[in-house]
Amino acid sequence: MEAALEKKIKKLLTRLSEVEHALGEPGVFDDQEKYRSLTQEHAYLTNVSNTWGKILRLQREHDESLAMLAVESDEEFIEVLKEEIAKIEEKLPKLKQTLEGLLIPPDPHDHSDTIIELRAGTGGEEAALFVGDCLRMYRMFADRQGWKCDVLLATFSEVGGCKEAVIGLSGTNVYRFLKYEAGTHRVQRVPETEAQGRIHTSAITVAVLLEPGEDEGIVLDPKDLRVDTYRSSGAGGQHVNVTDSAVRITHLPTGAVSCCQQEKSQHKNKEIALRLLKAKLAELQRKQKEEELASTRAQQVGSGDRSERIRTYNFPQNRVTDHRINMTMYNLDAVMDGFLDELVMSLVAHFHQKQLEEES
């Protein structure tokens, strides 16, 4: 590892000790905002410390195995050592990549509450099934990260998929890791209903929205809102098509629309719809500011383009490809089980590098 990198890590480890000391101080709970900031920083620094410790341990084991290999004469033990060295050499680059992603300077929004909105696109029922698969993928990823995850909306299709789904997530680095998931996700697989075994291509769209903070001042004037109620539709519940519990809210000045039919209560559906609408309006505001500040196309690319096809999931070949960074992995089964770490860390590093290039 480079000397500059080691120096930076040692500085972070020193800061970890300081944060741990601060968290142990009497009265630490008195200032909840400060306490929350300290716990988030502690989680981040602990992650850096653990990853760095794994790298040092593997490097030490690698050096020891190489030293033993140089003097060993037993053929059987030589093969064992070679296998061990190969395993370490496979793990080390991935750990170093993870560390590099962690060392990217934090963003004020890294830990902000985040909403993910998934919608079926081309492909009919197969697209709806993939929305359900991706909903499960993100929920399992959230569980592995220790995040809180709430399903705010799920409109089921006739075959068991979801025409649309919305989840709210909160936790350490939730927006940092998920902000580049926005865009069109394409799936290639053989549908269960396909008798000839032909591969079909379907697509879904994913939107990633920051929940607005108090400082963003998203205030909704009732005069600017049109609230429509209607009967819920689709599979899944006795209340469906019985009462006018579903709510659609339109923000007249911008045309932004949010809907919810998740709950039996019209009041609760309205609360969720307002929450989604505020997130959409905050996103519009941020996008306008980004466009005003962006002097070149490169800066806009750095924020992630929500309209482009970003990823392809090929089930027959167990392959997932992210087209923005030309990254292909042959562990789609693991990715769909929520093991998104390598993908999201690579994206964070890629777009950070883009930003550095633009600034220079």
The mean pLDDT value of the chain amounts to 85
The two beta strands, 319-322 and 309-314, are: antiparallel
The string of pLDDT tens digits covering residues 222-233 is 888 898 888 766
At 306 the pLDDT is 41
Phi and psi torsions of 58, nearest 5°: -65, -40
Contacts for 254 with CB less than 8 Å, ≥ 6 apart? 281, 284
The string of pLDDT tens digits covering residues 335-358 is 999 999 989 988 988 888 887 777
pTM for the model: 0.70
State mean pLDDT over 46-54: 92
Question: pLDDT category, 243, cuts 50, 70, 90?
Answer: low
Contact 262, 195 (CB under 8 A): no
pLDDT at 156 over 90: no
40-44, 84-88, 194-198, 251-255, range with the lowest pLDDT: 194-198
pLDDT over 90 percentage in the chain? 43
Total number of residues shown for the chain = 360
The string of pLDDT tens digits covering residues 164-176 is 899 999 998 899 9
At 241 the pLDDT is 46
At 294 the pLDDT is 56
Contact 320, 314 (CB under 8 A): yes
Beta bridge partners of 227: 249
The two beta strands, 309-314 and 183-189, are: parallel
pLDDT at 202 over 80: yes
Phi and psi torsions of 225, nearest 5°: -115, 135
Question: pLDDT category, 302, cuts 50, 70, 90?
Answer: very low
Longest CA–CA separation in the chain, Å:
85
At 233 the pLDDT is 62
Q: Is 181 helix (H, G, I), strand (E, B) or coil?
A: helix
Contact 15, 45 (CB under 8 A): yes
Q: Measuring CA to CA, how many Å separate 224 from each of 72, 249, 254, 285?
A: 79, 10, 9, 16
Domains of the chain: 3-102 (1.20.58), 114-211+300-359 (3.30.70.1660), 222-291 (3.30.160.20)
The string of pLDDT tens digits covering residues 254-295 is 888 888 887 778 888 888 888 888 888 888 887 777 676 554
Rounded Cα–Cα distance for residues 5 and 99 (Å): 10
The string of pLDDT tens digits covering residues 53-108 is 999 999 999 999 999 999 988 899 999 999 999 999 999 988 887 888 788 877 88
At 238 the pLDDT is 42
